[in-house]
């Protein structure tokens, strides 16, 4: 059995190692977007062909929350915002999701809001047209060969609908 080995990381160190070893590289962009551009650049520039790969091959994680409208998607996105807020505060693990809220403004202070927005700045949130446009821009910026789509939505039905929208807009 031939199981491909990937190096998953969120820094330029892991990117360099994947490049030197000639491995495919998966970058955790869904929670470390500040390192994404540098890591992908380092991976590609340090890549050495191997028995596994002749040229670099990158997969990038990205948060995508799609809904029928931009407003509904923004509402659903408060689940992931709350999770990252709780993580910043050291209050819970990344496995717990909270129900969406109408507004985050009373839940965080300015510093916490800025920190959450930094962590989630590559997230794609919106209705079908916004998701399609932002996903295309994300792929243009990262030149990813594959994507890992993370959809942190509290309600299972809303999560499935998000994936349905994504599949529809991406098929074109």
Q: pLDDT for 78-94, tens place per residue? A: 999 999 999 889 886 65
CA distances from 159 to 49, 66, 67, 77 (A): 39, 8, 9, 11
pLDDT digits (tens, 9 = 90+) for 1-36: 888 899 999 999 999 999 999 999 999 988 888 899
Query: Quick check: 24 and 4 in contact, CB under 8 A?
Result: yes
């Amino acid at each position: 059995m031939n199981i491909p080995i990937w190096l998953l990381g969120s820094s330029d160190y892991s990117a360099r190692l994947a490049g030197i070893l000639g491995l495919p590289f998966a970058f955790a962009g869904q929670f470390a977007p500040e390192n994404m551009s540098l890591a992908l650049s380092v991976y590609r520039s340090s890549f050495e062909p191997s028995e596994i790969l002749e040229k670099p091959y990158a997969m990038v994680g990205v948060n995508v929350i799609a809904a029928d409208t931009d407003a509904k998607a923004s509402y659903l996105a408060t689940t992931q915002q709350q999770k990252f807020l709780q993580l910043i505060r050291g209050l819970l693990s990344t496995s717990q999701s909270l129900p969406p809220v109408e507004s985050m403004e009373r839940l965080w202070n300015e510093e916490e809001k800025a920190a959450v927005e930094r962590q989630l700045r590559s997230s794609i949130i919106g209705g079908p047209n916004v998701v399609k446009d932002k996903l295309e821009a994300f792929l243009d910026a990262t030149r990813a060969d594959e994507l890992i789509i993370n959809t942190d939505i509290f309600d299972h039905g809303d999560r499935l609908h998000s994936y349905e929208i994504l599949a529809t807009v991406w098929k074109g």
